[in-house]
Each structure stands twice: as C-alpha cells, then as structure tokens.
Chain A
C-alpha cells in the first residue's frame, strides 16, 4: 500500500510577504496622517517641530519585527497558513498606532511589548517540533501551574492603574496578568484531554466530568477575583470545544441556559454584575455615573459616523480607558463605520482561518487546539466589541492583538504561533473529519455575530449618530467651540452683546454685556448653552443657514461645523440696560415691545447673573433662592390676576353681553377672599371696577361671556401658546374646558402666563386690536457677509375691533402722560403675591407704538407702576 501523496501547496509562498507590505503601506499612511493632524486641528501650516513624530518609532519597530517574524516563520514552517500572520500583524499595528495617538507613554510600552512578543515568537520557532507534544503531555501540570499563578494574585495582586480589581502580578513598572495565560492553558488542557478521550468516548458524561471540574475551578477562581469578562471567555471556549467533541447541539443550548441563569443570578446577588447589567439595559438613566463609559463610547462611535473624523482628529480620549477596553470605539471614532467593518472583517477572517486550520489539522489534539484558539480570539473580540457598542454587557477583556497590554499581546502572539504550528503540520496529512457540521455551525454563528456587531456599530454611528452628538454631555461640542468661530449676538443697532475672542484652538466666548446673563445666556464648555445662545445655537455654531457644500467640506476636512454666523437681535441695548437698572433690587421682569411689529425692544429679568464668571458662580447660582438663572420675562409663568380685566370687558362689550354691575366686588376662591387691587372709584361703573381689578366684577364678566367665549378670547390673545421666539419656554397649553368661567376670569384659577405673552396682549390696545407675533431675532449675516432676514414675520391677528381697542385704551388713559395703563395683583397658589403692570402708548399718528409688561414678585403695584412707567416713557422718548 503506497502512502498518500502529499497535497500540493496551492498558495504561493509570497502571499504573506505581499499582504504584509500592504499592511505596512496602510500603517505608513496612518502614521503620516497622525503626523499632519496637529496642523489640521490648528488650520494652519505649523513648523515641522510642532507636528507629531513620536509614533514613527512604533512604525519602524512594527516593520522590522513583523517582516523578520514572517521571514523566519516562512523558513521554519513553509506550509503554515500564509494569511494569519499578516492579518494579526495588521491588527497589532493598527492598535499600536491608535495607542500612540492616545497616550505617548502607553505607545512606547506597547511598542516594546510588540518587539518582545515577536522575539519570543521567533525564539520559539527553534523548538517547533517539540512545542505541541510537550504541551499535550503535561496538560495537567500546565493548567495547575496556571491556576496557581492566578491564585497568587490573591496574595500579591496589584493593579497598574491603581484602581479596579487586582488581577496583575509584578512590580517596578512590569506587570503580567496571569488570567490571560490561563486562557491558553485551559485550551491546551481541554484539547489534550478531549483528544485522549476520543477513542473511548461513549457519552457526554465521561467527556464532561473531569473537564467540568477543571473548568469549574478556573471559573470559581475568576468569579472570586471578579474578573467576569475572562470567566465569560472561558465558558465560551469550553462550550465550543465540548460541542465540537461531542457533536450534540444540546451542549450549545445547555450552555446558553447556564449563561442566562448565571446572568440572572449574578444580577440578583452580585453588586458589580447588577451595576453592569443595569448600565447595559438602561444607559441613559445614569449617564454621568455608572453608564458614563458606555454613553461616552456610543458618542465616540456617533462622532465617527460613516467615514470617521480622520487619524488624530477625533477625541477618543473622552472615553475612559480608551487604550484598552475601549480601543474599538477609539478606532471607530477616527476611521468611522468603514474602518469598523474592515476591523471586524479582519478579526472574522482570522477566526475563519483558524477554523479552517482545525479542519485540516493532523490529529484530534491539534484540531481541538485550533478550534479552541479560534474560540478564544472570536469570543474575546466579540465580548469587548459587543460591550463597546451595547450589544452585550460591558466586560473588561482586551481585544486580541489590538488592545494595549503586555500580557494580552504576548498571549495573542503565542496563540498565533500555535496556529502556525498546527497549520504547518496539517498540510501534509489531515485526519479524517468525522463530522464537519459542528465546525460549520460554529463558523456560521461567529460570522453572524461579527456581522451583527458591524450592523450595530452602523446603527449608533450613522442612524442614531446625529441625535447622540447633540447630547449636552458630549464634550466634543465644547472642544469644537474652541476651534470653530462662533457667531456674535448683536443688538438692533449692531452693537455686540456676546462675541467670540481669541484665536483658533483657543476661542472663548466674550460676554460684552455682562449684566444680561439670563437674557442672552451662555455658551460654556462645561455647562452647555442657555438663553439665546441656546435658542440660536445651530446658527451661531455654523450648523444651519450654511451653503450645503461648505457644511460638507468642513465636516469631511475637519469633522467640525462651518464658522458660525452673527445674529442681529431686535433688542435695543440702551433700553434693555435701562430696564435692568430699573428692576434692580427686585425679583421681576420687564418686556418692551413694538406694538405694531412685535419686535421685542427690551427684555429684562432680575436678579440676573454674569455669564463671564459662570465657572466661579455656578454652585451659588444653582443654590440661590432667587433663581438668577431664570429668565423671568420669558420662562416665568405667573397667574395673570385681574390685569386681563380690560380685555374681558372689551370682549363682553363687543358681544353686547355686559351684565349689571355686581353688588359684591370681592370673590371667594378656594376659601381665599380676593379683594380689589385698589378701591374702585365707583362701585356701579364697569370701567372703574375693571380698572381696580375687582375679582367679583371679573367673575361676573366671565359668567356673562361663558365658557366658550372666554376660551376663545384667551386663545386669540395667545395665552395658550408660547410666543415664537428662540428661547426655551414653559409648555403653555389650553385646558380641555373651563367649567367655571367665573372663577377662570379672576385669573387666579390655575392659568399661568409669561410677561412676554402679556406684552403681546398689551400690544393689541396700542395696535388697533391686532395681536402681533413676537420677534426677537431680526437678521442673520450669511456666509457671504450679507444680512438676511431671520424669518418672515407672521401676520398680526385681529382680536378686538379697532374702535373697541381705541375706546378701551382711552378708558385706561393716564392723566399725566400719553399712555394707557393697567395694574393688578395676582396671588399664586403658594401664597405669593405678584404685581402686574401693563401699559402702552396711545395712538398718536406717526409716533411708533410701544407697550410694556412688568411683573414683580412679592412687591406692590405702585412700585410696578413707577418702574414700568419710567421704562415706557424712556422707550417713547418722552
């Protein structure tokens, strides 16, 4: 009987060298891009010394080490699989440069570890004949030794980073994680044991008993050490090997069941597992504390998008431990979904080659060994990548070949060596494969999992990305503000209110009018945006009203928005400052409006704050009982009380439903007796009763108008909707019904309004009964320097007839000034008293019409009148 002819080598010997050259080209381009990155960030031609050069050391070491390793392997093992070394080398180089880009010191260490790993690999090639048999023969010795070393971490364990579980051994800057080695030793033990048992195999039990004991011991050790990620990897490896050996699908099902049970039990019993699973299921609940890592990781992926920010241009460092646990997100942020797919494809390719090597292996031992190594690479990669993208709970394992870590690098290259040895041996004679189905099923499952990981990365990066990036805890926005010009806020005469100062890379917001903090708001790297800086943010930041190509070009070149645009506001700086001064010492707000156009001329709220000293004052601002951060003029919501009386009266008159004047001027609401704001001049005259804001009279008016008419009036006056200005406002909405129109008409029965809303209401009396739309932003200076209207102003809505408005204004006319005025108290449910003052100019031909709304908390109407009058007369130029 003649021996089978050796199968011919089908692949050219030079495949690995060609692939390595391509990998080197990729890494060289990567390194060159990293070198240029600082110049791109600064948007200027920097001198060579200010560019980044250190990482080229890593490139040089990589090229020397990997080409040397490949050559020596080709000589020693000419029949090894030619793909695995270049693929693993590319992964290692990619990780290495990413680590250099993140931290100089870690890059240096990783480079050293790469050199050491490659040197040991080549050294081990000398004993290529003896390694595999030796590992098989002393399988128990190796495993027990591994367990012992791991157990030593109980006594001498440390953590190089200072916090977290003590899983390392070593000192003086050199640390080793024994559980990394333990993984390989367990694979070797299982492969050897299963191969020895193969001929005697009768059922699952003899296969399981000793291996289950050994694996259980390993798991127990890891559980006690709280190294849960590694425990997961062990369960995966064990399941896959037993499944391949036994060929029964129930092994997979049983293992899945055990994992789920372990997760449920761990969730109930172990605090760490509970926290991990909670932050996996509900990361958005607690994004600043327990879920901080995963939320930041998802935002990093979102920042990457489709094509990535470019090497050195992202901010992967915002994710904690980006160099080891979260290296995947670092890579995705800078190379995008495109890079993520390539990375996953490389790992999947490596796994598939390992499975192929196993099918072609010479004997059962080598077959199981290769399967175990494939399971190790696949499960560990999937666990950490899955944890990064919220596919699985987060576990702290490394990404083989890529992550930072000496132990991880050494073990990854050891696994690579074993795969090379097995593949070299198997080329000549493969043992017959009894049942190839389990291997194919495992390959299918693993490839499916890698594809799923790519899809989920795409989901976070491309589909959900834009939403994620607008989160306020995305520090990239603050960083980008330092590099991108933010538009200025100008008053109606183009005087700057807030503007950008400094130079690229160091832009800061300058608040020219420091007293207007709660109107203009702030744009702060730590506290985000508020006020108009918030409402107009997309324009100021350069994300809106830009030519499409400019946006796209800035995004693709810099990963940033275009330079921002200036906005002209309707505010009159002098009048606004005057209003702030007039309100000094009060808690209250004032709004001055052009009655015809609805342009807001002054917006004031006291107490205020200075946005310039926000960092220092933040805690005291938050703690203050006076709520200085609140813009009372727009965000304040107060009961209107009797100040709306004139509009009720005008509505009742125009509908001819005016009843007899009531006998009772007071009104009892919820056991609270409401009195007139001031004694009425005549108790049987409607105008006098309304002017005095007598609640009894208002209730009578409300009953006369009826539910529907009253709701219509409030709707027409815009009290159920927020004025259309770029500021955050409370949600004003209409109630389903007003079952007691009398109570509602007193303005004390639950309805809340803002001073800005009442300024619009006031405008109807000075504007011939027309309700103007509020305007706060007038124009935007577009990219070519032209002022363009901010928005087409909405048309004014008729509320009262011109005659009714005129006569109502005349009835409220002041004796000593060309204005009408109305003031009243309102009582909040909290027992606080608010003083309202509404006033406006009487129509006088060509004179511009101005109105004002003033609100004071816990103050008196005379004070509101004197403040409001002073501001209005200034506005009218009297």
Chain B
C-alpha cells in the first residue's frame, strides 16, 4: 500500500507527457490542416484567361494564356516569344496574383509601356489595356470567370 502513491504519480506523469506532447501534436496537426487547406484553395483558384491581340500582323492571330505567369521576350524559354530586335531576351512578365493580372517590366532595354506610359512598378491590368514592348504592341482581353461559390471553402 505504501507504494500506491508512487504508482499513481507514475501514471500521472505518463498522462502529463501525453497532454504535453498532445498539445504540440495538435499545434502541428492544425498547422498541417491549414497548409493542406491553403494548398487546396490555391489549387481551386481559377485563372481568368488572357487573350492577346497583336496590333500589327494578321488579325485573328490571338494568343490565349491560362497559366499564372507569362514571360515575354526574345529568348526561346519565354512562354511568349517575340522575335523582334527591340525586345529584350526577357522583357516583361504577366502574373496573376491577388485575384488580378499584373504586368511588370523585367528591366528591358527599350522599356514596357501600358497605355502609352512607361512602366516602373507592377500594375494591375484590365481588359482593353494596350501594351507596348519595344516596337511590338498588342491589346489585352481578360475573360470573366464563372463565380466560384465561397460557401464551399468556409470551415465551421
């Protein structure tokens, strides 16, 4: 009987360790869930298609982009290759984030112009924006998305 408190205390210590590491495990489990949810949300995020219509050249030659990042330039690794001497090898970039398409200049020699103004910082694009890279210019069209229901992403 004299040993009884010692055995009870040993049990309590085991439970303590369980609670302590349970706490930590729960922290990490919740973080993991958050990470998964975030990845899921990002994967579900749909990108409005970008339509590009060059101002010169044959009409009807439209380009469609549905990826989140489009690089313009002369270099063959660019998503959109512009074979023109006035275009730098990596000239500009079209990126979709924060629910918008953005345009940013990648330090091109001849500059990138949006509706006639030279670009110094990333800007948000809207439909019918007019972009010029060197001597190449084109007009953008952003296709509207069907609205995704916000309810499905809400957690209780």
A interface residues, Cβ below 8 angstroms from B: 1-2, 4-5, 8-12, 15, 18-19, 22-23, 25-26, 29-30, 32-33, 36-37, 39-40, 43-46, 82-83, 86-87, 90, 307-308, 310-311, 313, 335, 338-339, 342, 345-346, 349, 556-558
Contacts and interface: CB of A to CB of B under 8 A. Distances in A.
A10 B2 contact: no
Interface string B103-138: 000000000000000000000101000000000000
A25 B24 contact: no
B99 A4 contact: yes
Query: Which of B7, B8, B27 gathers the greatest number of chain A CB atoms within 10 Å?
Result: B27
B66 to A, nearest CB: 20
Given A1-B126, A5-B99, A26 B16 contact: yes
Nearest to B153: A8
Contacts of B13: 33, 307-308, 310-311
B30 A15 contact: yes
Nearest to B7: A557
Given A10-B38, A29-B12, A342-B24, A40 B5 contact: yes
A4 B98 CA distance: 6
A18 B15 CA distance: 17
B27 A19 contact: yes
B30 A39 contact: no
Interface size band for B: 35 or more
B99 A36 contact: no
Nearest to B34: A10
B19 interface: yes
Contacts of A45: 1-2, 4-5
Nearest to A554: B6
A755 B33 CA distance: 78
B145 interface: no
Contact of B15 (A1, A29, A36): A29
B12 A36 contact: yes
Lowest 8 CB-CB distances: which A-B pairs, in order? A39-B5, A26-B19, A557-B6, A33-B12, A29-B16, A22-B23, A4-B98, A40-B6
B37 interface: yes
Interface string B29-43: 011011001100100
A22 B26 contact: yes
B23 A32 contact: no
Contacts of A313: 9
A402 to B, nearest CB: 14
B98 A10 contact: no
Contacts of A557: 3, 6-7, 9-10
B10 A556 contact: yes
B22 interface: yes
B154 interface: yes
Contacts of A86: 23
A311 B7 CA distance: 13
B99 A10 contact: no
Given A29-B15, A32-B12, A558-B6, 18 more contacts: A8-B150, A8-B153, A10-B38, A11-B33, A22-B19, A25-B19, A26-B16, A26-B19, A29-B16, A36-B12, A39-B5, A43-B2, A310-B9, A310-B13, A313-B9, A338-B17, A342-B21, A345-B24
Contacts of B153: 8
B62 interface: no
A8 B154 contact: yes
A8 B41 contact: yes
28 contacts: A1-B126, A4-B99, A4-B100, A8-B154, A9-B155, A10-B34, A10-B37, A10-B38, A10-B41, A23-B19, A33-B16, A36-B8, A36-B12, A37-B9, A45-B1, A45-B2, A45-B4, A45-B5, A86-B23, A90-B23, A310-B13, A335-B16, A338-B17, A339-B17, A342-B24, A349-B27, A556-B10, A557-B10
B83 interface: no
A82 B27 CA distance: 10
Nearest to A309: B13
A43 B5 CA distance: 8
A342 B17 CA distance: 9
A44 B8 contact: no
A44 B2 contact: yes
Query: Which of A22, A43, A82, A335 gathers the greatest number of chain B CB atoms within 10 Å?
Result: A22
